[in-house]
Each structure stands twice: as structure tokens, then as C-alpha cells.
Structure 1
Amino acid sequence: MDKPNVRPDRPFFSSGPCAKRPGWSLSALDNALLGRSHRAPEGRARLKDVIDRSGKILGVPDDWRIGIVPASDTGAVEMILWSLAGQRGIDVLSFESFTATWAQDLRDVLALPDVRVFEAPYGQLPDLEQVDWSRDVVFAWNGTTSGVRLPSADVIPAEHDGLAICDATSAAFAMDLPWDRLDVVTWSWQKALGGEAAHGMLAISPRAAKRLEQGAPRPLPKIFRLANKKGLIEGIFAGDTINTPSMLCVEDALDSLRWAENIGGLPALKARAENNLSVIKGWIDQSEWLSFLAEKPEERSCTSICLKITAPWFTALSQDLQTKAVKHLTALVASEGAGYDLASYRDAPLGLRIWGGATVESADIAALLPWLDWAYEETREAFAA
């Protein structure tokens, strides 16, 4: 196969940190509040602006609270688990690496007495009919490392006694989230809008806030505390961060939020991501060597699009040779400047992962795909018996 002659204008397909918005440059940070305290009125106002714009774009209900927290989405999830888990029985949906981590934390680290883990292999969801929504339930809306998402809001009962705790880091700003059926939602700046790492976002419903006000069931380090003896620490939800944020990252987050607003908000963001998935689907439909890792079409992610290599010569290789073949393939594409960070997550089945969130242009994905076909043929010649 001849080498393609058209490269993506922006060959950035990492699933985190993700591609910056189209047209981004360092000049977007020119007005960053540098050399000033984040606790100054101006700094606090910018942090509150991130909170307000995020909530408006995502459609977070007015009676929810939104805060900026440390340590990206991981920090946000851990804060909630340590603050809330254990006050009633808890179910965990474990179907990729991060949800497996939440399950391990609850079962083995916190060692809670009443944890049920419903597992499924990569590419599938657990049996959702087994979930008891009278208990607290922890789940990801979209599996960042498996490319599998919940198919609809209907999987969560409109009325439920427990808290629905949703890790939405690779779903926010790309998919509809049923806020009327959720109680805690987390995400990060580094995912769907291409922000910089280290900052997480946490949104809590009135029901979750009431639970937090009752006090954590265990001692917490300061960096995890959302409440104190007086109740909820309201300042966290008004721009008073627990630790010092990067004001450069704050400015970058505001830039990406303004871009999202200017192109039409959540409907436009969703349409861009779904179109990216459609481009890849059209290619997969014609492919003789790849298929989606997610088995059911209605469960396929439009952001973390995970693919498995199904060619017989590849599946006949040893695990070691399969690993080398995938590294060879992705290195070829990267060496040509046609696509970076395309390998599947380290704990996931060997294959490819193409980020399709709204900051990625469909034209760049379309330009990438012939390079993957070319690199595959080169790899097959090098590794096939």
C-alpha cells in the first residue's frame, strides 16, 4: 500500500490530556491572572466563572453545587468515595480500569462491609438489572479505557433511595447526562474540552449535599474535606478552592468554555463528537483488520473510541508479539507526524484508541485513517508468519 500524502492538520488524538480547541494558541492565555493570589477578588471571580460557565453548558440544575477540586477527576471521585461511602450498602459497576479502581478502593482499601461489584470484560457493560438503586451506586457514564458508555438515562430509575455517583470525565461536554437521575457527577479539565491537567470538577445534588452535611463516616485529610462541624464548606462551590490552582490552567479552561459557548453549547459539542464517531464507523465498516471493542452499537463511546485488531494473523501471535506489533504500528504513524497517542490504555485489550471529543476535527480523523491502514500493512509484513 502506498504511503498516504495527506496528514491531519492537528494529529493529536490522546484521551487525556486531549486536543486543544480548534484555533488554540498560547495567546489564549495572554490575560491569565499571573502573580496574583487565587484568593484575591479577581482570582476568585475567575474560578467562579469556570464554575458558572461549566454548569450552564452542561445543564446542571440551579439547586446543585459545583466546585473545583484537586487532582483531576480521580481526586473528585476519591473525595466523594471517602466522604460518603459506607453510610449504606454500595454497588459498583466495574467494566474498565478506572471503575475497577473505584471498586478496589471501596472493597479492599476502605474495606467496607457491604460492597457489591458487578463486573464485565472490556467491551461490555455489567448486567444492569442486578443493580439495586436503593443502595449507593458508583459508575462511569463512559468507560474512558473501554469505549463503552451507558446506553440511556433509563438505566437509572427516576426515583431511587441511594445516591447515583457518576464518574463522567470522558462523557461531560460530549454526551447528555440525566441530571434529574444523578446525585454526584465528576469530570476534569483535561478531557472533553482539552484543558490542562490537575484540576477536577465536582457537582452534587441537594440529596448528596444533605448526606455530606451529616459528616463523613471516617476521618479525612484536609484536601478531601467538603464539610466541617458547621456543615458543607460552601466556599468550595463559590471559587474558594481547597488548594492552590494554576491560574494559567484557569484561563485555559475559560478559553475552552467560551469556545464551547460560541459554537452552540452542548448540542454543538455533542454533534461534533458523534460526527467523529460516524467517520470512524464508516471506516470500520469497510475494515478487514479492526472492529469496535464495544460490542453493542448503542453502547459505543463517541469520545474514547476503542478498537481491537481482529486480523487472524495478529490474533495468532503470542501476547508479547502482539504488544510489539501494536507498538510498531503506532510508532510508524507517529514517526510520520500523522497521529500521536493512539495505543489502547495499558490495562485494556491491545488495540487502538482514538479520542473523538468535540475539540477534534472530523477532517483530521478522516486524514488519520489511511495512515492507520498503511501502518497496518507495514506491520503485517513485519510480523505475520
Structure 2
Amino acid sequence: MKPTRRTFMAGAAASAALAAPAVVKAQQVTSLRFQSTWPANDIFHEYAQDFAKKVNEMSEGRLRIEVLPAGAVVRAFDLLDAVSSGTLDGGHGVVAYWYGKNTAVALWGSGPSFGMDPNMLLAWHEYGGGKELLKEIQKAMGVNVTSFMYGPMPTQPLGWFKKPVTRAEDFKGLKFRTVGLAIDMFSAMGAAVNALPGGEIVPALDRGLLDGAEFNNASSDRSLGFQDVSKICMLQSFHQSAEQFEVMFNTGKYEALPNDLKAVIRYATQAASADMSWKAIDRYSKDYIEQQKAGVKFYKTPDAILRDQLKIWDEMIAKRSAENPLFKKVLDSQKAFAQRSGRWQNDTTIDYRMAYNHYFAQSKPKA
């Protein structure tokens, strides 16, 4: 077939198109300003930065989250309102800090959680109805935020004191720092509770405004300087035995993102949850040893105090349930999930301490 002028021109146009340089559309970048509820030197702020780094890298630069430390824009306990109003695009903290707006949110970490460990509580949140309940509570609170829960925290110490706590009566009249529903628990034990944010605890202990305080873990406590004002730390408590972190976004900012970037955020949160768990084991165990080198004495909280905490908790949740229907709704949901999952976990999990003691001459915390 003899080429026509039309086929010649079409071929020439195609060749020209292949030879021409491609015109690349400029990549749209969305920048979000976050603040954590933690001091810049705290490992918790590092966790917040780790989350942001994962989002930034997974989005290939299309989403850029900058994380500022507590106080950079607002005080730690003002973060929720700042994100809700749009003063900040998002933040990193714990839902127990919003206890004053609705007591039900503190159940994401305060108390014994019906025997669930922190990872089980996250399982309840993801698969047992917790996510839906949190949205319902946030609607009742009137806040414009979208939250992601992640990062199971190991059991928190009872706290730091001037001398070992040997019985529940030792809390009577004690000026003590804690947050969330733990305020109710320690108040019922006789303490005078002050809910200070993390960065204000050690100065208050140093000035004698507090007689004792709890924060969270060996690394955070060390960076905050607890060992400089106290040499006694009591390990194990039910006041916050299954807590986790919250990453929150202003809902308007989050909903404006394209679907693929929303997916990046969801999966980055899950990745950050696993990474945080692994990093915590590495860092907390190192700082636990460093604290002891600095002269800190660790003692196991007596079982009698732990049993008293459970009794107090039962009385407290009965009262709070009568006051707040959403509080009861969360408890009922957790209890149903805990009864099933706890039975499975307790029946199937091996006693790791047996193997540990088999291989190591362990120096146990004193009872």
C-alpha cells in the first residue's frame, strides 16, 4: 500500500511527540504543623517524630508533617482544643489528657482494663468496637478531630517516692502527681493529687510541691530527671497498665487529603505502633540499668496495694458509670472483649519468667 500524505503526517506527529521532552506536573505538597504533649528530650516526642518521618517518606514528600514539642504553640493539656479549632493541624499525646471533657476517654489506658495488656486493649480498639465508641465520645465532646490509636505502652510504675511504699495507707496525705482516672484511684487511696504535665513534674518534686509522682517509663523518667530528685521507684501498678498513644488530626485537614494519603497515614500509624514497641524494649531496658547505676532503688509494689487498687477501681467505675452512660458503654464493650481474649491469652501464653530464670541469675526488685 502506497503511503498517503495523511499517513506520513500522522507518523511524523507521533515521532515528534516521542522526541519532545515530557511536561511533568508540579507535585502538590501538603504541609501539616503538629505539636506533641511531650518535652523535646522525651522519648515520647521521639515517637511522635518517628510517626511523622514514616508518613513523610511513605508519601514521597507529598505530605510533610512537622512535629513541635509541648509548649511550642500551646500547653500540653490545651492540645486537643488547638487541633479541633485548627490552630494546629494535628498532635501527638494520650486520650487520658482529655479526661476533663469526658471521663470515658480515660478508659483508653487508665485502670486494669479487665486484665487486658496494652496490645489487647489496642486489639479491642481496632476490632472490638473501640474506634466507633471513641468517635461517639468525641462527638459528644464537640471536638473536630480524627484520632488514630497506636503504640502499646508497657505497664507503668506506681511512681517515685522519698521512701518505699509498703502499704496503701502510705498514700494518705501524700501530694502526688498522676492524670486521668488514676486521679480518682489515688485520691481514693488518700493522696492529694495534682495533674501536672510531664515537663512540670520534676521541678515540683524538687521544690517540695509534690511528695511523689508517676509518669511512664525508665527512659522518659530518666530524661525528665526523676533520678535527680528521688532514688526510690516502685514498679508495677494497675493505675495505667494498658495505655497507648493518640495521633490526632483536625478533621477538616484530614478529610481534605486524597484517599491515597489517608491510607498512608493509616498504615504509617500501624507501622509506627510496631516500631515503637520494639524501640521501647531496647531503650527502656537500657535506661532501667542506667537508673540503677545512678543509685536508684527499684521495688516491686506489694500485692496488697495492687489488690486495693482493684477494689477501689471497682467502686470508682460503678460510680462513674452511673454518672456517664458513655463511660458504661465503653466498659461493657471492653469487658466483653476482655473476657474472650483474656481467656485465650492466659490459657495459651507460656510463663516467660520461668525460662528467663533458667538462663540468668536475675536480680529481682525487692518486694
* Higher relative contact order structure (alpha carbons within 8 Å, sequence separation ≥ 6): 1
Structure that is richer in helix per residue: 2
Give the structure-1-normalised TM-score: 0.28
Structure with the greater alpha carbon radius of gyration: 2
